Structure 1
Amino acid sequence: MPAVVLVHGIAQELKGPETLLDHWYPALADGLALDGGAVRVARHDVAMAFYGDVFRPPGHRAIGVPELTAEDITDPVERDLLLAWWEHAAEQEPAVPGPRDRTRLRTPHLAQRALNALSHSAFFAGLSERLMIASLRQVRRYLTEPATREAVRERLAALVTDDTRVIVAHSLGTVVAYETLSAHPEWRDTALVTLGSPLAIPNIVFDRLIPAPADGRARWPGSVTHWTNIADRGDVVALIKTLAPHFGPPDVRDVLVHNGAKAHDVRPYLTARETGGAIAAGLRHGI
């Protein structure tokens, strides 16, 4: 049974658990080695909580991702998240032009400007416009569709056992991990490591969490004994880098790392010595 359970983020619907584990495990092992190598974990002791297929559209005549344009961004959650990504990317990256007329952001023209600007950001470079919109749509569907939310959370719940010591989650997966752990306080003590998390984004994510925050602070997730949150300063998705002011008590340990050009990519997060140290500490605690 897995000692470490991984939870991926958006835009993985055409992959699968073994494919993603092949992608994640070497980087995770490198992070542990760079921490000193005193703690190691074999691949067969690591599992991927895969939910990408929940968002995979049924077969249709079109090839690839369904055609989506700026005019399809009509939902308030998608619009607000697009604006938040755009503003943060413009603050962090000189190559990304910023919004100058917020009052008209809700028009297709401004949504198109946002998409065009984000195409120059490190995170979205190389992604087509429709893939960016599909990413917005996945976040919105998780946060607003109860059946989708439950189906995704069940994937993680199905893998966690008494042998599980650490849950490592990335991007939207951090929301999945937080909510699933909160729903299962009976689980054995577990360490949580979040990478590039959008959990604290106000209004869009934080205020839609289950259980709902109260007085600006969210409940500590279930039986988690240690929570380390790791973010790159330039990560567009992790708009709020520090979670400690928003969750607990006890407190989240917030750590900043440098991931290079791919600030939100999971592999540099996993190879960071700080991530390796957090995973190793969780494994040691559970021994």
Structure 2
Amino acid sequence: MTRVVLVHGIAQQLKGPETIAEAWLPSLNDGLALSGARTLPRDDVSAAFYGDLFRRPGHRGLGEPPLDASDVELGLEHELLLSWWEAAADAESRVPGPNTTGRLRTPLIVQRALNALSHSTFFAGLAEGTMIGSARQVRRYFTEPDVRGAAGQRLARAVTGETTVIVAHSLGSIVAYETLCAHPQWQDLTLITLGSPLAVRGLIFDRLRPTPHGGMARWPVPVKRWINIADHGDAVALMKELAPSFGTRIQDQTVNNGARAHDVRPYLTARETGLALAGALN
């Protein structure tokens, strides 16, 4: 019985639905426990997994072919990296901003962005190729119809008649929103979005389906309640509030995730997330 469907975000291509569900459930139950609610058994939770759509095919070399600044495509990939850089610099004093002159200059603005992001808490320890790959997954979702369609189908198959809540993180919130809009026959669902970039104008918001009109996006018909939760320092969730773009019925809330502002685990363990989930389940 799937009461809660989980929708993951970027950089999960080497995992699977069972791996995601097993990894998320303890944190999800911690949030429920903090809210004073009963925890969920494993059978109540499933994951809509689409990460394999971004997994590279096998080749004779070891590991994945490395990506560097020269591989970043102009357009969405380029603009995403720059926007993450600006957001990280605004949130963290140790991250040099785009207007900061560094000791070592590089002609590639993308390389400067990657160098700066390596000092941020979210991207610290990640290889340049991983950062580029994350931006590339967002670009591929919006520009490759097969990928976009398949991701939505994965979520549609995971939702059952017993499903009451969809919990979506990062890119997964885009998949969840578009899939919910495409299935108006579903009823009485609660949507909980974590670290969502849905309201980022120019990069994400204007590319959504259905297309927003007059600066407002359409409300997904199956959703009776929508709680959006964001950390102030989350560089991916550039716009922390969704209500101005999706309607005042959304409950925007903020949490403090510590050093890992975009990590799904502190989002799930937050009491605010637990209260939102408990309210939907009860």
TM-score by length of 2: 0.96
- Measure how far apart 1:234 and its partner are: 0.2
- Measure how far apart 1:143 and its partner are: 1.1
For 1:46, the aligned partner's letter is: V
Hey, what's the Cα distance between the residues in 2 that align with 1:201 and 1:147? 23
Hey, what's the Cα distance between the residues in 2 that align with 1:16 and 1:74? 28
Query: May I ask how many residue pairs the two structures share in their alignment?
Result: 277
Task: Provide closer, same or farther for how the CA distance between residues 141 and 108 of structure 1 changes in structure 2, counting only shifts above 3 A.
Answer: farther
Q: Which residue of 2 aligns with 1:149?
A: 148
For 1:170, the aligned partner's letter is: H
Q: Which residue of 2 aligns with 1:193?
A: 192
Hey, what's the Cα distance between the residues in 2 that align with 1:29 and 1:156? 22
Contact 1:40/1:280 (<8 A) preserved: no
Hey, what's the Cα distance between the residues in 1 that align with 2:213 and 2:107? 35
Q: Which residue of 2 aligns with 1:109?
A: 108
Contact 1:73/1:108 (<8 A) preserved: no
Q: Which residue of 2 aligns with 1:104?
A: none
Contact 1:195/1:230 (<8 A) preserved: yes
Q: Which residue of 2 aligns with 1:65?
A: 64
For 2:39, the aligned partner's letter is: R
Contact 1:123/1:262 (<8 A) preserved: yes
Ranges in structure 1 where 5+ consecutive residues have no aligned partner? 102-106
Contact 1:54/1:148 (<8 A) preserved: yes
Q: Which residue of 1 aligns with 2:19?
A: 19
Does residue 277 in structure 1 map to residue 275 in structure 2? yes
- Measure how far apart 1:65 and its partner are: 2.5
- Measure how far apart 1:63 and its partner are: 2.2
For 1:276, the aligned partner's letter is: G
Q: Secondary structure at the match of 1:5?
A: strand
For 2:250, the aligned partner's letter is: V
Q: Which residue of 2 aligns with 1:82?
A: 81
Task: Provide closer, same or farther for how the CA distance between residues 228 and 108 of structure 1 changes in structure 2, counting only shifts above 3 A.
Answer: farther
Q: Secondary structure at the match of 2:158?
A: coil
- TM superposition outliers: structure 1 runs of 4+ over 3 Å: none
Q: Secondary structure at the match of 1:44?
A: helix
Hey, what's the Cα distance between the residues in 1 that align with 2:99 and 2:148? 35
- Measure how far apart 1:108 and its partner are: 6.3
Q: Which residue of 1 aligns with 2:229?
A: 230
Hey, what's the Cα distance between the residues in 2 that align with 1:63 and 1:242? 42
Task: Provide closer, same or farther for how the CA distance between residues 245 and 135 of structure 1 changes in structure 2, counting only shifts above 3 A.
Answer: same
Hey, what's the Cα distance between the residues in 1 that align with 2:3 and 2:45? 6
Hey, what's the Cα distance between the residues in 1 that align with 2:39 and 2:147? 35
Hey, what's the Cα distance between the residues in 2 that align with 1:23 and 1:276? 16
Q: Secondary structure at the match of 1:254?
A: strand
Contact 1:69/1:130 (<8 A) preserved: yes
Q: Which residue of 1 aligns with 2:129?
A: 130
Hey, what's the Cα distance between the residues in 2 that align with 1:99 and 1:155? 38
Q: Which residue of 2 aligns with 1:204?
A: 203
Q: 1:160-171 to 2 correspondence within 5 Å?
A: 160-171=159-170
For 2:210, the aligned partner's letter is: P
Hey, what's the Cα distance between the residues in 2 that align with 1:191 and 1:63? 43
Give the aligned CA root-mean-square deviation in angstroms.
1.2
Q: Secondary structure at the match of 2:246?
A: coil
For 1:139, the aligned partner's letter is: V
Q: Deviations over 1:105-139 (max 9, x none)?
A: xx961100000000111111111001111111000
Q: Deviations over 1:7-34 (max 9, x none)?
A: 0001000111111112100000010010
Q: Which residue of 2 aligns with 1:56?
A: 55
- Measure how far apart 1:100 and its partner are: 1.7
Ranges in structure 2 where 5+ consecutive residues have no aligned partner? 101-105
Q: Deviations over 1:173-198 (max 9, x none)?
A: 00000000000010121000000000
TM-score by length of 1: 0.94
Q: Which residue of 1 aligns with 2:103?
A: none
- Measure how far apart 1:74 and its partner are: 2.2
Q: Secondary structure at the match of 1:245?
A: helix
Hey, what's the Cα distance between the residues in 1 that align with 2:11 and 2:107? 23
Hey, what's the Cα distance between the residues in 1 that align with 2:256 and 2:207? 29
For 1:256, the aligned partner's letter is: T
Hey, what's the Cα distance between the residues in 2 that align with 1:64 and 1:243? 38
For 1:167, the aligned partner's letter is: I
Q: Which residue of 1 aligns with 2:120?
A: 121
Q: 1:172-187 to 2 correspondence within 5 Å?
A: 172-187=171-186
Task: Provide closer, same or farther for how the CA distance between residues 8 and 108 of structure 1 changes in structure 2, counting only shifts above 3 A.
Answer: farther
Task: Provide closer, same or farther for how the CA distance between residues 108 and 55 of structure 1 changes in structure 2, counting only shifts above 3 A.
Answer: farther
